[in-house]
Structure 1
Amino acid sequence: MAPAWDTFGKRLTECRKAKNLSQKELAEAFVTSHTTIGKYERDEMIPSIDAAKKLANILNTSVGYLLGENQQSDLFKDPLMLKRFQDIATLPEKDRECLLTTVDHFIKSAKISLM
């Protein structure tokens, strides 16, 4: 049996949060209700293969990661983004916190402007 943290629902939640999406926002992109996303995340309902593929595409990860077949998420498919995050990881903690706070504010502002 897979560890509790290694379920489809837990991985879906992890990927959704990594993309800074609410259940409602993911549901809108997936064209379903937020209650369905909630059921997936609580492992109360398992999506079809096609639905899992669509979720993986929206979250920029692989179906294999969501299903627990591989341990590493494909959240960083873009090598330039991966390199940037690796560079950020080498910065002093104070600089990292400042940079991530700036990025968080930018993302929030961008989401608001899309509404």
Structure 2
Amino acid sequence: MNVENYKLGQRIASLRKNKNLSQAELAKIINIGTSTLGMYETGKREPNNEMLSRIADYFNVTTDYLLGRAISSDDKLAWQDLGMAYGGHIPDELKDMYRAIAEEYVKKHPEALKKKRK
């Protein structure tokens, strides 16, 4: 099993569970078989680019978020990382507060942005 596929699968499963969806329900929504979704979630199979985009669009997250690329090349945190509790979308009234908290954390722990992904 590919570790990156497993991490992708964990993200998909987490997003699905946050929306209180079964695998069968999500599979129907994104027009794939339940077993295919199960293989994505366990890392036994990887979605192609079109399917990855479809999943990202449904959950209102980026494909980079699904792939575990939470930190962009310019070392800014992705909104999706902060908004998991809100299904990947932070309400506008909370964005300033979340940004301030994240920026303060990064100032105190700059090494957090530099960790290599395994």
Change (3 A) 1:57 1:77: farther
Q: Is the CA contact (8 Å cut-off) linking 2:3 and 2:43 kept in structure 1? A: no
Matched residue, 2:43: 43
1:66 and 1:35 map into 2 onto residues whose CA distance is: 19
Structure 1 unaligned residues grouped into runs of 5+: 87-115
RMSD: 2.6
Q: CA deviation at 1:10?
A: 0.6
Q: Give the TM-score normalised by the residue count of structure 2.
A: 0.59
Q: CA deviation at 1:79?
A: 2.0
Matched residue, 1:79: 92
1:37 and 1:73 map into 2 onto residues whose CA distance is: 25
The equivalences for 1:9-24 within 5 A come to 9-24=9-24
Q: Give the number of equivalent residue pairs.
A: 81
Matched residue, 1:32: 32
2:62 and 2:18 map into 1 onto residues whose CA distance is: 14
Change (3 A) 1:3 1:35: closer
Q: CA deviation at 1:3?
A: 7.2
Runs of 4+ in 1 over 6 A off after TM superposition: none
Q: CA deviation at 1:77?
A: 4.6
1:79 and 1:70 map into 2 onto residues whose CA distance is: 20
